[in-house]
Amino acid sequence: MNMPRIRFAHLPTAIEALPNLSAVLGGPQLFVKRDDQTGVAMGGNKARKLEFVLAEALANGARTLITVGAAQSNHCRQTAAMAARLGMRCILVLSGQPSKQANGNFLLDQLLGAEVVWTTRTEREQTLQMVFEQAWADGARPFLIPLGASTPVGALGYSLAFDEFLAQKMEMDAIVIASSSGGTQAGLVLGAKRAQWSGRVLGISIDHTQAELSARVAELATQAAERLGEPFSIVAQDVLVEDGFLGAGYGVLDEPEKEAIHLFAKHEGLFLDPVYTGRAAAGLIGLIRAGAFRPKERVLFWHTGGTPALFADEYAAQLQG
């Protein structure tokens, strides 16, 4: 693949076995891919996408990165860190309210020197557009990175991540991943299709219905394939999405997420996050209990990061004790 790329993530990330958790849950054989350890400002999946998206920004002569997310966005934290390393300005459009004391990812955004514009979740896209136009008018040479860096170019990072997984020669029957803006799953689905992999790539939806998310992932994967000059058409029916674990909505931590976070920590010494991997692991556990996997099957839980959000007051308060 010779798409412009800036290499900064620590790759390949490790694959580790989770024997204790597998035993506690009564199978299948569980493994974890440690994309919580991609090396950029406490890790996470956005590093792989930003390697491609930021190469695009630099090729466009950008001097300011503008992106968007929730107050505890991991994507915003990793973007702000890369802006710092590249000597660029960074403006984050965050939905929610500033906490009295900055904490979790939002504290890190501040340390990284990002400028923050607050908005609501419903007005987020509109605010983002306004901030971009203002920065353009001011001559700041802004580059707009959409939610989660989930563009076709960003998804290429996860197509390569799939190749990296294959090169690690760990046979798996399924990959389970948290899926929200869809770029991560789109890249993995594309990678699996290019390799004619026989396993399944199952996205546990964080905040969308199955119909919405599978259509979005299919569209991104198809557009990413076009960027590679490869004529794959991926349709929604090719994309496996489970939307039975949406709980009370985005970022709302409840019993299933808490149980998953505690089980991974207590039995494997591994930290999940309250918003994404906690919910995806809750989904995996729920599916295991419902008999969705045979005991002999090998299942890779792809850890996408997010652990700094554990230290956000609203989540820490619920996880203690």
Does residue 37 interact with ligand PLP by CB under 6 A? no
Beta-bridge partners for 118: 94
Interface residue with ligand PLP among 28, 44, 152, 251 (CB under 6 A) is: 44
What the block records as the tokens of 199 is 């396993």
**Nearer Cβ to ligand PLP, position 47 or 135?**
47
Q: Which residues contact 12 (CB under 8 A, 6 or more apart)?
A: 164, 167, 168
Does residue 51 interact with ligand PLP by CB under 6 A? no
Sign of CA dihedral 79, 81, 85, 91: positive
**Nearer Cβ to ligand PLP, position 75 or 89?**
75
Q: Please tell me the number of Cα atoms within 13 Å of 3 on its side-chain side.
A: 23
Q: How far apart are CA 104 and CA 106, in angstroms?
A: 5
Q: How many residues of this chain interact with ligand PLP, rule: CB under 6 A?
A: 20
DSSP state of 36: G
**Nearer Cβ to ligand PLP, position 182 or 283?**
182
Contact call for residues 285 and 279 (beta carbons, < 8 A): no
Binding mask 256-295 for ligand PLP (x = CB under 6 A): -----------------x--xx------------------
What the block records as the tokens of 257 is 């997420």
Binders in 159-178 for ligand PLP, by CB under 6 A: 178
Interface residue with ligand PLP among 37, 45, 64, 222 (CB under 6 A) is: 45
- For 300, phi then psi, to 5°, come to -100, 115
**Minimal distance, residue 304 CB to ligand PLP, in Å:** 3
Binders in 227-256 for ligand PLP, by CB under 6 A: none
Q: Which residues have a catalytic role annotated?
A: 73
Closest CA to 119 of 163, 80, 69, 167: 69
Interface residue with ligand PLP among 29, 95, 181, 214 (CB under 6 A) is: 181
Does residue 148 interact with ligand PLP by CB under 6 A? yes
**Minimal distance, residue 35 CB to ligand PLP, in Å:** 9
| Distance spanning both ends of the chain, measured CA to CA | 48
- For 108, phi then psi, to 5°, come to -65, -40
What is the residue type of 264?
A: F
Does residue 152 interact with ligand PLP by CB under 6 A? no
Interface residues toward ligand PLP, by CB under 6 A: 44-45, 74-75, 148, 150, 178-185, 273, 276-277, 304-306
